[in-house]
Structure 1
């Protein structure tokens, strides 16, 4: 395993292998961009030793050493080695990882058993993937004008959201970490349940969904719903996400009705403006048409008055009857 392998993948936090004989090798990227190699084998006298290394993997400094580290029972609160061994397949675990004494990171851990050519179990290979990029992706989404989104697991524990709210409880268990510094994985209780979110829209939406479906495990298909929060109507779209292995999440989009109404009102305003232009054009055409029609009628009226007054002068009469010819032409054109 080379340090360059870890550097090649920005989202990968660590790579490692643990054997059935409890030998261990883990390469990890630290929060300050340095790298650590942890080893437990015959070369370390079966001590668990962690070293700061350079880009080539050369050891620079020993930062931790312990002879009480059981690689098959790590972490103590949720050991994953036996779980991965029994699963006989790739498994995913979502957990909180301490990267500093007072700072935690939300990560997805995946483990896969490996075997020799005789199909005899040899150990587990694994990696950790930071979920930071998932949060950045959600924040980049434009959901209407003021829409929001969150992702939870089936227990209602937040994976991430489009807001700045962390998917961990306010304690984030820096206290628990100090009480048990050897435990690099924090208890699941440190994860934030969406019902306890400080975001009122998230909280009320989660409560509504849980009451509507009884629990989150009952959501099998995509659903479109609506809910009233503080006298405002919100549209909800909830959809399951599954990877056919262990990831079983729910994605929830929430958009206030006012976002749609703003679009409708904008379209209505444009419709009114267009109707106004259309009406003005129609009136203009009507005025011009009326003038064209009424002018020859007025001439005909004047001609009839001339006849009534016995004004038989040919020139005058011809001028008056020109209007009648105009009407005849207009009528003939209209009939065609």
Structure 2
């Protein structure tokens, strides 16, 4: 029986690791993995949010520009048709230049247009509108029959549209050579003119909705022109809040700028004459880069048939761009472009991401410290118990193990080392009855000690005190 009890129960010799390390490392690794995953998802979701926000913003801005162009340019088309009907119905007389100009002056009070004109086949001209940007409305006349020359005379008006004072004159004004008249006569139908500068004010870019006027025999009487100043489109683009550094601009298919939200003018002065500006030659870096990218990407701007959202890099910085064709039934064919730097969106998202990462790192540090503290709290009583067990195994049976606040560790601290120590002390004192009682308690607390308890009882009944002492020491040494 003694040989069976003192036998080593096949405990393999494994590589020993610190309990503190076993407790802390997995805990820290889990926290680190959670922090890393949180940071990665935060970055990924941030980028996705940027893409979705940029896409939605470009779509909304493009839609607003389309609506404005529809409304602003439809006004000119509508007014050209109305005035054409007025001539057809006899409400306007091609020979009554003052009556025509007064009628046009009235319309200027009602419609958002830049200038309304009529030029006859005979060289007579009557018009009303803004002479310069946002000035008072004037009336103009060209009448070789009345004045004996082709000069244009501009008159100031009162609040009823009656001319009151000659404001200025422009010598030898040949409106027949201007795009609004010449192109309409050639087309023989309502059309938009090419974009052009006013003769009297070359700094003003305009596009004109024009309609030819014929008599009952289909002979040309003249042309009605409704000018829309492109500067008002530019003003609208400037009012749109795209992003801190975003730009909106409108192009013709040949790459010439119609209007832009940047501060530059859509033309340059070459030899005292205005020359329209191409977007690829713009002084605005984003407008220029966007135009170059579109040209390189499509090869030819005329190939753009539907709205597209793209992105490209400028000096390593990502730029979002949307290009949308805008057309109408009279022949205008423009491209609406919205360009927005990614940095306009990513700033706040990056700040939020950095804050998330810092909070995660803080949580990692705090969790690591708590893990180390918890491991120390758990391992200290275990280490004390381990040292006490080693001392008992060495024959120092007078060991005391402090009770732990952890219930399971408290049970370990109480058995079996401390109980065996008491049993050994009783054997030294020769208290057989007390030995038997202690053995009974040991057998009840741990089934593994049943054989051990039976052997002690047999030795106690025979009063073999010294053998009890030796047996306890051997048991502790081997277990």
340, 348, 356: which one aligns with 1:255: 340
135, 138, 161: which one aligns with 1:33: 135
Answer whether contact 1:15 1:127 (CA < 8 A) is retained: yes
Instruction: Identify the residue that residue 15 of structure 1 maps to in structure 2.
Output: 116
SS in 2 for 1:80: helix
Asked if 1:53 corresponds to 2:157, the answer is yes
State how 1:1-336 maps to structure 2 within 5 Å. Answer: 1=103, 3-9=105-111, 11-20=112-121, 22-31=123-132, 33-40=135-142, 44=146, 49-63=153-167, 69=173, 71=175, 73-75=176-178, 78=179, 80-81=181-182, 83=184, 86-97=187-198, 100=201, 104-114=203-213, 122-171=221-270, 175-176=272-273, 190-259=275-344, 261-273=346-358, 275=360, 295-304=406-415, 308=420, 309=422
Change (3 A) 1:263 1:81: same
Structure 2 gap segments, 5+ residues each: 1-102, 379-403, 427-433, 446-479
SS in 2 for 1:57: coil
Deviations 1:202-228, CA, capped at 9 Å, x for gaps: 334333432332322222223344444
Flag the structure with higher strand content. 1
Flag the structure with higher helix content. 2
Change (3 A) 1:299 1:119: farther
Deviations 1:149-189, CA, capped at 9 Å, x for gaps: 32211111111222111101144x6x34xxxxxxxxx6xxx
Instruction: Identify the residue that residue 84 of structure 2 maps to in structure 1.
Output: none
Cα RMSD for the two superposed structures: 4.2
Alignment length, in residue pairs? 295
Deviation, 1:121, is: 5.8
SS in 1 for 2:265: coil
Point out which structure has higher relative CO (alpha carbons under 8 A, 6+ apart).
2
Output the CA distance in 2 between the equivalents of 1:66 and 1:262.
55
Change (3 A) 1:15 1:307: same
Which aligned runs of 4 or more in structure 1 are off by greater than 6 angstroms?
A: 116-120, 280-294, 310-313
Change (3 A) 1:215 1:35: same
Deviation, 1:143, is: 3.7
State the structure with more CA Rg.
2
SS in 2 for 1:38: strand
Output the CA distance in 2 between the equivalents of 1:197 and 1:127.
29
Deviation, 1:28, is: 1.6
TM-score normalised by L of structure 2: 0.50
Answer whether contact 1:81 1:124 (CA < 8 A) is retained: no
Change (3 A) 1:23 1:46: farther
Deviation, 1:23, is: 4.1
SS in 1 for 2:268: coil
Change (3 A) 1:116 1:277: farther
Deviations 1:94-142, CA, capped at 9 Å, x for gaps: 2222555xx6112222112345688876543222122223222323334
Output the CA distance in 2 between the equivalents of 1:162 and 1:219.
22
Structure 1 gap segments, 5+ residues each: 177-185, 322-336
Change (3 A) 1:80 1:169: same
Output the CA distance in 2 between the equivalents of 1:46 and 1:66.
14
SS in 2 for 1:127: strand
SS in 1 for 2:236: helix
Change (3 A) 1:118 1:294: farther
Change (3 A) 1:68 1:252: closer
SS in 2 for 1:133: helix
Output the CA distance in 2 between the equivalents of 1:117 and 1:288.
103
Deviations 1:215-251, CA, capped at 9 Å, x for gaps: 2222222334444434444343322222232221122
Deviations 1:73-108, CA, capped at 9 Å, x for gaps: 142xx46245256342242432222555xx611222
